[in-house]
Structure 1
Amino acid sequence: MNVKAILLTLFLPITAFAQGFAGLGTDADGFSVPQPDPQFAFPADHGAHPDYRIEWWYLTANLTAADGTPYGLQWTLFRSALAPETGEGWTAPQLWMGHAAVTTPENHYVGERLARGGIGQADVVDDPFQAWIDDWVLEGDWETLRMTASAPDFAYDMALTAQGPLIFHGDAGYSVKSAAGQASYYYSQPFFAIEGTLQLPDGDIAVTGNAWLDREWSSQPLAENQTGWDWFSLSFDDGNKMMGFRLQQTDGNNFTSATWITPDGQTTPYTDGALVATPLAVNDDDVPVGWRVELPEKGVDVTVAAINENAWMTTSVPYWEGPVTVTGSHTGVGYLEMTGYE
């Protein structure tokens, strides 16, 4: 077995979690599992939860340059535990994976980092908050954050400022993912203003925009019959926002969930069936890059279209992730993640 094969074997739990593929419906195997009526404690819950099997810190941003060109940006750190036990140094059972990307209308640049826990190469600490893998860093007090990443074809250095409260999805942060009751703890900061510099092959570009940071952890977030997901984070021009996902099932049905977010941070959760997401167009790889998204109770009937149809994450486990435009009953921008299509 070569080095790459060994790494992929070690990272199978985290890659499966991050992309919503097989493995997320397996038993929790002694790990903690989310329970209803969560009691979050900050800043501690911004940090890692090693007694849970899988976890992420996931930031996406819609950016604009001075000439009006749209860009997308991603910074993600995934944690996966091989076992519920703790350990130090090389005996620590934590595995880490980082994904970073910059999307332009013409190109999609991707970087990936893999690390073992316990040796200082990657970790997340809560106070002061710092998440890192090698030299990729997300740090600050959650009111303000600095974010950096680099890869052979790109780099970025961004400053983020929160302009609204944290948002808790599902039932006060307890996010149900299947009819059988699988769930995760899930909250977001969708109100970040972001500014900084993209370093691309054609030169440095100053950008501004808005960013959305997701926090989620669980040990068995999907059911055995669920194979992937379509996830939308939409920021409308009227100040409202919406998170919604569609979990694909082997029987051809889908499980859906959504959160409506007002400009001042008030939320309305929607359970299975309230959100409807219908593919409209596919790219050359048969990945749906155009969608009709409906939330009738809020009068939402929009078309979501990729800025770059080829925003494929060429990482250890591939998936599609990129910025989108929103037109129809509401207008705006957002991000779309799709798994289970390779």
Structure 2
Amino acid sequence: MAVLNKRLVKLLVVTTVLAVIALIGSLLYAIFAPTQYQPDDNDLDSLFASQSQKVFESALPGKSVVLPADFAMHPDYQHEWWHFFANVKDTHGNEYGVQWNYFRIARDDLEHPGWDNSQLYFSHVVISTRDHVWREQRMARGGIGLAGLNAKPFRMWIDNWSWSAKDENPFPGRLSVNTDSFALSLKMEQTGQYVIPGEQGYQAKHNLMPVASYNIQAPFIKVRGSLKLSNNMPPVAVEGTAWMSKEWGSGLLAEGQRGWDWFVLDLDQDTTLTVSRFRHNLQLPYVFGTLSTRNGRVITLNESDVMITPLHMMSLANGKLVPLQWNISIPSQNINITTSVLNQHLWLPFALPYWQGPIYSFGTHRAHGFMQLTGY
């Protein structure tokens, strides 16, 4: 009996110690977990969807984008996101696609200090060739210095990834990304004017619902730098062209929205085309676009101008069916092109999962650019 009691005491002591360890672990996780925030699907629905209660500012017509002031962050709006796409070649003519995306998403409209800050930051970088893909994502919480944006001089960062410039304009600038397995360093110089699409930067994304954002585009960028694709190999010198976009608003997703299809195409050295197709349940897609030239001419395209049709559904390794070939026709501009992808294996399973990668076209224009497909 005495032996049994001793065993029970030992068991009680061990159980108590394990409980204390678990409690300490939970406390440590609560303190340090924000920098490794991993949202589940329900979190993403609430983070990316339009808000039913007006706690954030809404993107409304009649308000003009102002440069360079609007390169700063807009914490009164729920979302802010940057896209940078570059088509570059090395000295042997090998082609590379470079993608860098940066998201700021607010969980509420209050500026909480430190670890309780409501701003979440997501960023990912992708380098691709015809048969290889290098990719990585970073997540961080605002308020503790791990991510953010300084307006003057311009610097946007998350951990050791950064876009920096000498003044409040992002160009000329440098994009620097380092991961455990690959890295890139690109100098970026603007060779054409900024484009303010839509109505002075206001872009509606639905026929009936108040879903919209403000937008700035830089369609003409010259890039030069290096890609380090292996720890055992020296960096590869590259140069080429790039395109950048910044948007901000409140609500990436409308109620009943299934996703969007987005195309950026350099039709020639002086003309860039962007086309977006937002898909909704029980409604026709909402289509819009912009045709911009290096000298500053901007043509706004609406649904009656653009005919865009998916041609071929490709079955990916993850079982998803994704339309990787499209026809885009704009009769008023004598544009009729069919797009194809350079590498089909570019489904990106990040916080906001989508297919995104380099494309080329044939038809009236032998163009190159990028495509983003969400909601498949």
Note if contact 1:25-1:225 (Cα within 8 Å) is conserved in structure 2: no
Residue 117 of structure 1 corresponds to: 142
Worse-matched range after superposition: 123-132 or 22-31: 22-31
Tell me the TM-score normalized by structure 2.
0.83
Q: In proportion to residue count, which structure has more helix? A: 2
1:168 aligns with 2:196: yes
Structure 1 residues without counterparts, runs of 5 or longer: none
1:12 Cα deviation (Å)?
Answer: 6.5
Q: d(CA) in 2 for partners of 1:183 and 1:213?
A: 19
**Structure 2 counterparts to residues 116-195 of structure 1, below 5 A:** 116-140=141-165, 141-180=169-208, 181-195=210-224
1:283 Cα deviation (Å)?
Answer: 2.7
The superposition leaves residues 4-63 of structure 1 with CA deviations (integer Å, 9 ceiling, x where unpaired) of 9x83338976x569xxxx942443531001111223333321111111001112111111
Q: d(CA) in 2 for partners of 1:150 and 1:321?
A: 21
Tell me the TM-score normalized by structure 1.
0.91
Q: d(CA) in 1 for partners of 2:164 and 2:61?
A: 30
**Structure 2 counterparts to residues 282-301 of structure 1, below 5 A:** 282-285=313-316, 286-301=321-336
Q: d(CA) in 1 for partners of 2:153 and 2:220?
A: 21
Query: Runs ≥4 in structure 1, deviation > 4 angstroms?
Result: 1-4, 10-13
1:318 Cα deviation (Å)?
Answer: 2.0
1:291 Cα deviation (Å)?
Answer: 1.1
1:106 aligns with 2:128: no
Structure 2 residues without counterparts, runs of 5 or longer: 1-25
The superposition leaves residues 260-302 of structure 1 with CA deviations (integer Å, 9 ceiling, x where unpaired) of 1123121011123422221122333221111111122211110
Worse-matched range after superposition: 107-116 or 65-74: 65-74
1:119 Cα deviation (Å)?
Answer: 0.4
**Structure 2 counterparts to residues 1-342 of structure 1, below 5 A:** 7-9=37-39, 23-27=48-52, 29-140=54-165, 141-180=169-208, 181-201=210-230, 203-251=234-282, 253-285=284-316, 286-341=321-376
| RMSD of aligned residue pairs (Cα, Å) | 2.2
Larger RCO of the pair (alpha carbons < 8 Å, separation 6+): 1
Q: d(CA) in 2 for partners of 1:86 and 1:215?
A: 22
- How many residue pairs match? The answer is 335
Q: In proportion to residue count, which structure has more strand? A: 1
The superposition leaves residues 182-207 of structure 1 with CA deviations (integer Å, 9 ceiling, x where unpaired) of 21001111111001111113652211
Q: 1:269 is aligned with what amino acid? A: T
Worse-matched range after superposition: 125-134 or 63-72: 63-72
Q: d(CA) in 2 for partners of 1:293 and 1:66?
A: 32
Note if contact 1:247-1:256 (Cα within 8 Å) is conserved in structure 2: yes
SS in 2 for 1:217: strand
SS in 2 for 1:283: strand
Note if contact 1:256-1:274 (Cα within 8 Å) is conserved in structure 2: no
